[in-house]
Amino acid sequence: MAPSPQKGPSETYHLLWRAARGREQITFVYDGYYREACPTILGYKKDGREAVLAFQFGGKSKSTLPSSGQWRCFDLAGVTDLHMRDGEWHGGTSHRKTQPFIQHVDVDVNVPETLQHRAPLPFGSPKLRPPRRSGE
């Protein structure tokens, strides 16, 4: 069930919003696995679920994590034990194709206009942006 447009972002969303804007690393548990990542795009899936596209560079996952790291999309409802920490920003190689996960973008660390809002945008806000297309 999609959240209503009037419902504000979750506490997890607020913490990720601060981490992405500050280019801080995050640690968290997802699907029972401890993970280390850098949140790059934060917003909502088509159905309104909160999600983050992050570059996972450490920890574990169900599938093998390459030693160089990998882009992963996480539904925020499954994120637990979330913490921010200082550390080197990891972003992987540039995107070769448009990310299909987050359809309503609040924060994209590579798009300066998304870093100017004073607070996280709720689902349904007209200020949310569509995803960047490859090459942008």
pLDDT of 74-131, one tens digit each?
999 999 999 999 999 998 655 556 778 999 999 999 889 999 999 999 999 999 999 8
**Residue 129 in domain:** no
Tally of structural domains, the chain:
1
CATH number at residue 108: 2.30.30
Which two structure tokens, joined as six digits, stand for 52?
């983050």
More confidently predicted of 52 and 65: 52
**Residue 23 in domain:** yes
**Residue 135 in domain:** no
**Residue 120 in domain:** no
pTM: 0.89
**Residue 105 in domain:** yes
**Residue 134 in domain:** no
Q: Calculate the alpha carbon distances from 4 to 8, 56, 74, 115, 124 in Å.
A: 9, 30, 20, 24, 8
Q: Give me the domain span that covers residue 31.
A: 11-89+97-115
